[in-house]
Amino acid sequence: MLKNKISFFNTFNSKILFLIILSTITLQTIYFIAFQNKHGELGYTTESYYQDTAINLITYKSYSQGDPPINTAHRPPLYPITLAAIYTVIGEYPKLAIIVNNLFIIISLFTTYLIGKKISYSIGIISAILFALDPVIFVNANRISAGSQYCMFISIFVYITINNFDRNITLKNSILSSLVLGLATFTRALTLYISIPISIGIFVVQKYLIKNLNIRKTIYCILIFISIQILIIGIWTIRNYQQTDNLTYASMTSTHLGGYFIPLIISEKKNISYEDGQKEFKDIIEKDNYSNVSDNKKHKIVTNRSIEIILDNPINTIKVMVKQSPVLFLNYPQTSASIFLDNEKNLKLNTFLVDYHLSKSSKMDMTGYINYIKHYAENNLIFPLIHAIAFKSYLLLMMLAGVSGSVLLLINKTHRPKAIFLTIMMIYIIVICSTWPTARLRLTLLPINSVLAAFTLTYIYNYFKKIIHKEN
């Protein structure tokens, strides 16, 4: 009898999961067609970078930008390599690359379900639903962007790691998880510094789980895990140094630091506007003759000065990170609603967004969303208005539920090992992304936060179910 119930439950959940995936594919297809008609394959400079680098890989057999080619160290290479492989087989056809991006998202959705399923079947299903409802997946999947591929690797890494929590750590599992994490870091530099905190987390979890833990074997496996990461990062860093005379894994870090994060720290310290913070940091780097040196030297100047300011202002740095953390959860692609507008209204929206982000109000704080809503209402942009309110409410719920889920899992003895690992991952991603908390970076956090939020919602449902049952 029990086996029949379990079998029915598994079949029922499988059907629901199939419907979730089918619905997501349908919405992705609709958005794909609408987005291509409105915006084309390429968007802002990030997409152009990937596209141009992929073309140069094919044409000049070098990881470079421009014509004639100039070797670049701006971003990790895996996504441009992926694009180049697609174009080599079928020709330069960005739409097919975008279809592959959508496939990455579907894999990420399914893997998110598997992660949640390690807690319970219902949490797996709810995790998949929550993942599918975030508007960022549709926008990023339908651009030439590394976000979808990165999200896939992160979700697979999390699943592999959690899947091995019910057994002793092995060399095979350590190598496999490290290679997948390496692929993620080879796609985006966000996981560049994650090896040490994750290794500590894995050790704590293993020690908590295994009563007769072989400490020597565990440490050996963790060292192998870290060594693979160092090897992967080191190979690309050496290449960058040889080809660009720039000892860095990804020079884009200086863009995020100098262009956004450091001015915020300066403004926090001196209680001045963000724009004044930008001007002050510009004056600081100009002391090193910033305007008259090569791009590689500019990266070095910005990086070195940024590190100095962070080390000299640890409290203000933490304050800025804390203030920026909600933005990562609550930011969403404002232009995602533009595909449903006519040309006149779309022009008004795009003009506003450009002017807004270039204005004195460009700081990524939460007050900015009030200005968005005011603009939508004043210009009769009804769908963007509904879109903004609905999704902002949803993202707020996801943030609160995700944070609560981490706490509730830590309290739960059965799932505490998973909670330790997921919480470490979440904190790391929030800290790293707080330097540039855009909506597209939330894809990194989405599989983890979906599972944590699903646990909270399930907990609340079961709590009220018990109360109602007692009353009856």
In whole angstroms, give the CA distance from residue 406 to residue 410: 6
Summarize pLDDT for 109-155 with one digit per residue, the tens.
Answer: 999 999 999 999 899 999 999 999 888 888 888 888 899 999 999 99
Query: Does residue 412 share a domain with residue 297?
Result: no
Cis before 68 (ω within 30): yes
Task: Provide the residue range defining the domain that includes 257.
Answer: 251-312
Query: Does residue 17 share a domain with residue 129?
Result: yes
Query: Does residue 186 share a domain with residue 259?
Result: no
Report whether pLDDT(37) > 50: yes
The pLDDT score that the predictor gives to residue 175 is 93
From 272, 289, 312, give the residue that closes a domain.
312
Report whether pLDDT(42) > 60: no
Q: Decide if 364 is inside a domain.
A: no
In whole angstroms, give the CA distance from residue 105 to residue 151: 7
Query: Does residue 181 share a domain with residue 34?
Result: yes
In whole angstroms, give the CA distance from residue 405 to residue 399: 10
The pLDDT score that the predictor gives to residue 355 is 64
Q: Is 103 exposed, middle or buried (0-12, 13-18, 19+ CB in 10 A)?
A: middle
Average the pLDDT over 36-54 and give the result: 71
Longest dimension (CA), the chain: 78
Which residues neighbour 266 within 8 Å (Cβ) at sequence distance 6 or greater?
272, 277, 280, 281, 309
Average pLDDT value for the chain: 85
| For the chain, percent of residues with pLDDT exceeding 70 | 87
The pLDDT score that the predictor gives to residue 425 is 93
- For residues 277 and 263, is the Cβ–Cβ distance under 8 A? yes
Which pair of structure tokens corresponds to residue 196?
A: 């040490």
Question: Which residue matches tokens 């595909």?
Answer: 339
From 295, 312, 329, give the residue that closes a domain.
312
Q: Decide if 375 is inside a domain.
A: no
Query: Does residue 74 share a domain with residue 101?
Result: yes
The pLDDT score that the predictor gives to residue 44 is 47
Question: Which residue matches tokens 């090896």?
Answer: 195
Rounded alpha-carbon distances, angstroms, from residue 278 to 256, 265, 431:
12, 10, 21
Rounded alpha-carbon distances, angstroms, from residue 147 to 127, 142, 204:
19, 10, 30
Taking the CA atoms of residue 297, residue 301, residue 307 and residue 311 in that order, the dihedral angle to the nearest 10 degrees is 150
Q: Decide if 141 is inside a domain.
A: yes
Which residues neighbour 125 within 8 Å (Cβ) at sequence distance 6 or greater?
13, 16, 17, 20, 113, 116
From 262, 293, 312, give the residue that closes a domain.
312
Average the pLDDT over 208-234 and give the result: 85
Q: Decide if 367 is inside a domain.
A: no
Under the banding of pLDDT at 50, 70 and 90, the label for residue 312 is: very high
Which pair of structure tokens corresponds to residue 401?
A: 């539920």
Summarize pLDDT for 239-254 with one digit per residue, the tens.
Answer: 999 998 888 999 888 8
The pLDDT score that the predictor gives to residue 41 is 58
Task: List, in sequence order, every residue forming a beta bridge with 277; answer none if it has no partner.
Answer: none
Query: Does residue 221 share a domain with residue 194?
Result: yes
The pLDDT score that the predictor gives to residue 468 is 83
The pLDDT score that the predictor gives to residue 1 is 47
Q: Decide if 358 is inside a domain.
A: no
Domain count, the chain: 2
Most confident of 3-7, 34-38, 58-62: 58-62
Average the pLDDT over 379-392 and give the result: 80
The pLDDT score that the predictor gives to residue 439 is 81
Which residues neighbour 64 within 8 Å (Cβ) at sequence distance 6 or greater?
53, 56, 70, 71, 72
Q: Decide if 344 is inside a domain.
A: no
Handedness of CA 396, 401, 403, 404 (dihedral sign): positive
The pLDDT score that the predictor gives to residue 341 is 73
Under the banding of pLDDT at 50, 70 and 90, the label for residue 78 is: very high
Which pair of structure tokens corresponds to residue 144?
A: 């030439």
Average the pLDDT over 262-281 and give the result: 90
In whole angstroms, give the CA distance from residue 123 to residue 277: 45
Report whether pLDDT(68) > 80: yes
DSSP per residue over 135-193, as a string?
A: THHHHHHTSS-SHHHHHHHHHHHHHHHHHTTTS---HHHHHHHHHHHHHHHHH-GGGTT
Helix, strand or coil, per DSSP, at residue 25: helix
Query: Does residue 278 share a domain with residue 234?
Result: no
Under the banding of pLDDT at 50, 70 and 90, the label for residue 6 is: very low
Helix, strand or coil, per DSSP, at residue 88: helix
Query: Does residue 118 share a domain with residue 168?
Result: yes
Summarize pLDDT for 350-368 with one digit per residue, the tens.
Answer: 777 666 654 444 444 555 6
Rounded alpha-carbon distances, angstroms, from residue 324 to 125, 274, 314:
30, 13, 15
Q: Decide if 334 is inside a domain.
A: no
Query: Does residue 130 share a domain with residue 114?
Result: yes
Q: Decide if 347 is inside a domain.
A: no
Average the pLDDT over 360-383 and give the result: 66
Query: Does residue 447 share a domain with residue 305?
Result: no
The pLDDT score that the predictor gives to residue 59 is 94
Query: Does residue 297 share a domain with residue 230?
Result: no
Query: Does residue 102 share a domain with residue 70?
Result: yes
